[in-house]
Structure 1
Amino acid sequence: MATGGPRARLRPRALSPLREHLRDTFWFAPTAAMVLVLVVWALAAELDTEIVEALQDQQDYDAVKDLLRFADDAKTVVTVVSSAMMTFIGVVFSISLVAVQMASGQFSPRVVRIFVRSRITKATFAVFLATFLLSLLVLTSYDGEPDPRLVTSVPLVQSIVTLLMVALSLLLFVMYVNQTLRLMRVGHVVARIAGESFRVVERMPAGPPADATGDLGPETARVAYQGRAGVLRDVNIARLVRTARHQGVVLRLIPRIGDFVVPGTPLLAVHGGPAPSRRALRYTVSVGVERTFHQDLGFGLRQLSDIALRALSPAVNDPTTAVQALDRIVQFLAALTRRPLDTSLHRDRRGAVRLVQPVPGWTELVDLGFAEIRGCAAESPQVTRRMVAGLDDLLLVVPAERRAPLLRHRELLVSAVEQTVPEAADRAFALRPDRQGIG
């Protein structure tokens, strides 16, 4: 990659930021749990050895015999746990597959990531696998020597830890079943999507309006994307701001989070100086096969719209679910009515703008929330009534300069109902505002 020229090149790696990406994986939590249980087992085994040696040094062989009897009893329990835990893991895995399949078919394929990111699901798998591994390790620690003077170790602490892990596994199994049943209900699914969307809003920096980007100065260089094609999932904001500060420039992200990028297309525009080096720009962007919530402001509306569209399809015909999705769409848009949109400005410690990141504008978000649903809702009075009520509520809270897209959608909805519904009484009924649809 040449630096300082008009077309520098960047080859990113998916590492931005690590915590959010690990939450989208299913292997990390079980792997970490099994590594941790190895450490716990090693410490427990060492403690068991010290206990036996201390009793032998005191020549308290009766206590050692008591430990041996306890170990014989505990071994039976640990053996049962070892054989039964794999059955439990199979049950949990089967429940997860059925739940994911039902959610994908009933709501949207994009809601599958809710199950993947579920902390209870990951914790249940992690604890079950850790308990199974611990039981196997404890079984290898039993000493067949019956003489209390010759025995080297009795797995007392190890057995107690295993029993505690079994108790934790049972508790997590109950919580897991409860969580899975909740996620199979549309109300909880749309609430989770809305919650994730609001977290994206909270992470957005509060900044000046979009026209403030006109002060960046002339564009002096560009960084082209070079890597595997895919969806731009997020960027490492802290690293880009730090790189721009060291270089004395302002970086402007050209594609928006959620855009599909291909090699050779512009990725970053540089204002005020030469492009940073390839090494400085490593690990700054992440490209994957699907969008994520981390920095994608419109992804929540995309999922809510998909759920409503699936519910309004002739195969499903569930307008109540569409109304529930509209409830959250209106809630999300109401939270953005007075926030600066179109661009997100990221500053360094001295307050200077170092990174300009494009985000959806108000009109784009309103279109994303209402356009496709409106096109499918003309024949469903429950949905049209809820949409009219939602648009009217938003018109009451938005500033004057943001009323135009809401009025446009309201007029288009009225026009669609007038063209679809032949009876005047039915048209009047379908266009009457009602926050419950048909309350």
Structure 2
Amino acid sequence: MPDFINNLMTRIRASLWALPAAMSLLSGTVAMVLPLWDFSPSFSHDNWWLFSGDSGSARDLLSTLLSGIITMTSLVVSITVVVLSLAAGQMGPRLIRNFLIDRQIQMVIGLFASTIVFCLITLRSVSDDLSGDDLPHMAINLASVLSVLCLFALLFYVHKVARSIIADTLVTEVANDLEAAIARAGERHSDQSARRPVPDIDEPVAVIALQQRGYIQVIEYARLVTLACERGWLLRLHCQPGHFLLRAEQCLTVLRGPEPSDDDVVTLRGCFVVGKERTPTLDLEYSIRQLVEIAIRALSPGINDTFTAIAVINRLGGALEKACQSVQPPSQYADDEGQLRLLAPTQDFGGLVDTAFNQIRQSGTRSPAVLIQMGRILCALAAVADSDEQRRSVRAHLQKLRRCARTHIEEEDDLADFEAVVAPTLASNTGK
């Protein structure tokens, strides 16, 4: 799937209204069509489950169901507001997105909304002058079934939101998103691992700004390479997904080839998607920063939740282990003939480690447990790293962590425990 379509689908999934709106539209259509095809048999002991009352009792039943579902929907909305407030206060406002994109929560809200729409339209189709045989029996029975489903959905919703605000649950969900993004990045760039010599360029042919302000959400690398191949260009990118772009900021340079026309500039600008916020489509740092924010808030004096911070460190270690074994995004892109067409900045393993651990180390200086666990995870990463460059990045963080521990850990036994964890890895010659 193209990256811009994937980004669009991600934004739609992050909308709490999209799935409920679709379900409500479907239920409204069924409510209008079902009375036209009503094939309910007359009431007997063999079909006791069918509604057998007159038009007055049918309207009373539908009105009662409708008022009850509206009351339950109000309760669901109230619970949602409370949960979002708690999540924003304890975990950070950016993590509200993880609640909004939950498909099960969207389906529960959609079930309530679609049931209200179905009952309203069915109620309008039941007039006082209808006889018992002319009533939309199937629609009335379906309204009853949907109401019962809403009752059980409410119980499930309470269970779901109660678990969603548990720190370990949220940390696990964000970490799973991060690992999935790392896997997608490896699949996307698996055929661009070779490096080629970069020619010397005296003067660039053209410098292009996107004339937009916001976060870069998507860069269509394959499309840029195709355009460069067709026009005979060598392009250089100056930004990457997640970068905040100023309107006149230099974003793309044509290093070699013919000068791009106005239409070419418009086409090149169309290879970028700029939005108001960062998205996880191509931005590996997005989920890392979400996890880091949870840890920093947990280590704040007002919360002081060491266990949540340790859970974040463990999950970051698991994601970085996957990054060690994954294909890193390339800084060079070539066409099918091996001709260099695009130079791009990239987020290497060292940058991911910096993003993951720098702020947590700075915030956890007074917590020996956090520093010791971070040391364990970094030592484990050093053992599984695939290259000397990765090991050097991990060892650099271990050295920073040791200096921090020696400065801030006052208890000698705690410092001895820390040294017992990191000393063997730092004493090793591997990666020096």
Aligned match of 1:3: none
Task: Pick from 311, 318, 331 the counterpart of residue 305 of structure 2.
Answer: 318
Post-superposition offset of 1:330: 0.5
Q: Write out per-residue CA displacement over residues 187-221 of structure 1, whole angstroms, 9 at most, x where no aligned residue.
A: 11111111111121122122444844837999643
- Of the structure 1 ranges 206-215 and 251-260, higher mean CA displacement relative to structure 2 is found in 206-215
Q: Which residue of 1 aligns with 2:113?
A: 129
- Determine if contact 1:74/1:159 at 8 Å carries over to the other structure: yes
SS at match of 2:215: strand
Is the Cα contact below 8 Å between 1:30 and 1:129 reproduced in 2? Answer: yes
1:145 pairs, out of 124, 129, 144, with: 129
Structure 1 residue 410 and structure 2 residue 398: aligned? yes
- Whole-angstrom CA distance in 1 between matches of 2:123 and 2:336: 56
For 2:253 and 2:295, the matched residues in 1 are separated by 38
Partners of 1:116 and 1:185 in 2: CA distance:
16
Cα–Cα, structure 1 residues 189 and 147, in superposed 2: closer, same or farther, change >3 Å? closer
Among residues 368, 374, 377, which one is paired with 1:381 in the alignment? 368
Residue 76 of structure 2 is aligned to residue 85 of structure 1: no
**TM-score where L is the length of structure 2:** 0.83
Amino acid at match of 1:42: M
Question: For the Cα contact (< 8 Å) 1:305–1:373, is it kept in 2?
Answer: yes
- 1:313 counterpart SS class: coil
Deviation at 1:73, TM superposition (A): 4.5
1:123/1:172 contact within 8 Å kept: no
Contact 1:124 1:176 survives alignment (8 Å): yes
1: distance between equivalents of 2:121 and 2:112? 14
CA distance in 1 between counterparts of 2:147 and 2:196 reads 59
Q: Which structure exhibits the higher relative contact order, with contacts defined as CA atoms closer than 8 Å and separated by 6 or more residues?
A: 1
One-letter amino acid of the structure 1 residue matched with residue 320 of structure 2: L
Is the CA contact (8 Å cut-off) linking 2:205 and 2:254 kept in structure 1? yes
State which of 99, 106, 109 in structure 1 corresponds to 2:90. 106
SS in 1 for 2:284: coil
When residues 78 and 395 of structure 1 are mapped into structure 2, their CA distance, relative to the original with a 3 A threshold, is: same
Name the CA distance, whole Å, in 2 between partners of 1:139 and 1:47: 17
Check conservation: 1:377, 1:384, Cα contact below 8 A: yes
Which residue of structure 1 lines up, in the alignment, with residue 318 of structure 2?
331
1:11 is matched with: none
Q: Which amino acid aligns with 2:108?
A: T
Equivalent pair of 1:233/1:292 in contact (CA under 8 Å): yes
Partner of 2:16: 26
The percent of aligned pairs where both chains have the same amino acid is 26
Displacement of 1:302 in angstroms is 0.9
Q: Where does residue 424 of structure 1 map in the other structure?
A: 412
User: 1:225 aligned to 2:210?
Assistant: yes
What corresponds to 1:437 in structure 2? none
- Measure, in 2, the Cα distance between the counterparts of 1:216 and 1:303: 40
Q: Distance in 2 between matches of 1:78 and 1:243?
A: 60
> Distance in 1 between the 2:157 and 2:331 partners?
38
| 1:255-274 alignment, distance < 5 Å | 255-270=239-254, 273=257, 274=259
Cα displacement string for residues 218-246 of structure 1 (whole angstroms, at most 9, x for unaligned residues):
9643431113x221122355655665565
- Does residue 1:42 correspond to 2:32, yes or no? yes
**Is residue 391–residue 410 contact of structure 1 (8 Å, CA) maintained in 2?**
yes
CA separation of 1:166 and 1:236: change in aligned 2, threshold 3 A: farther
Matching of residue 169 in structure 1 with residue 154 in structure 2: no
Distance 1:161 1:270, change over 3 A: farther
Contact 1:68 1:154 in 2 (8 A): no
1:38–1:213 CA distance, 2 compared to 1 (3 A)? farther
Number of aligned positions between the proteins: 405
Structure 2 alignment gaps of length 5 or more: 423-432
CA offset at residue 82 of structure 1? Answer: 0.9
Q: Which residue of structure 2 aligns with residue 10 of structure 1?
A: none
The DSSP-based 3-state class of the residue aligned with 2:53 is helix
Instruction: Return the match for 1:359 from 334, 346, 352.
Output: 346
CA distance in structure 1 between the aligned counterparts of 2:129 and 2:347, rounded to whole angstroms: 72
Q: Which secondary structure state, in structure 2, belongs to the residue aligned with residue 433 of structure 1?
A: helix
Q: Distance in 1 between matches of 2:398 and 2:66?
A: 62
